[in-house]
Amino acid sequence: MFLVFVYSFVPSRLLRKQIAIRLLLYIQDSVIVIVFLNKN
């Protein structure tokens, strides 16, 4: 789990929050794309 390793070494909480939000948005986009492809 490379991302978790990087995440634990990020110094500031603000930066951690930004990374977490980006990851969540990325996952959400991926799920939407997968669902969209499955419907067609």
Q: Where are the domains of the chain?
A: 7-39
pLDDT digits (tens, 9 = 90+) for 4-39: 776 677 677 888 788 889 999 999 999 999 999 998
Q: What are the phi and psi torsion angles at 11 (to 5°)?
A: -70, -50
Whole-model pTM? Answer: 0.53
Burial pattern 7-27, b for ≥16 Cβ within 10 A else e, equals eeeeeeeeeeeeeeeeeeeee
pLDDT, position 33? 92
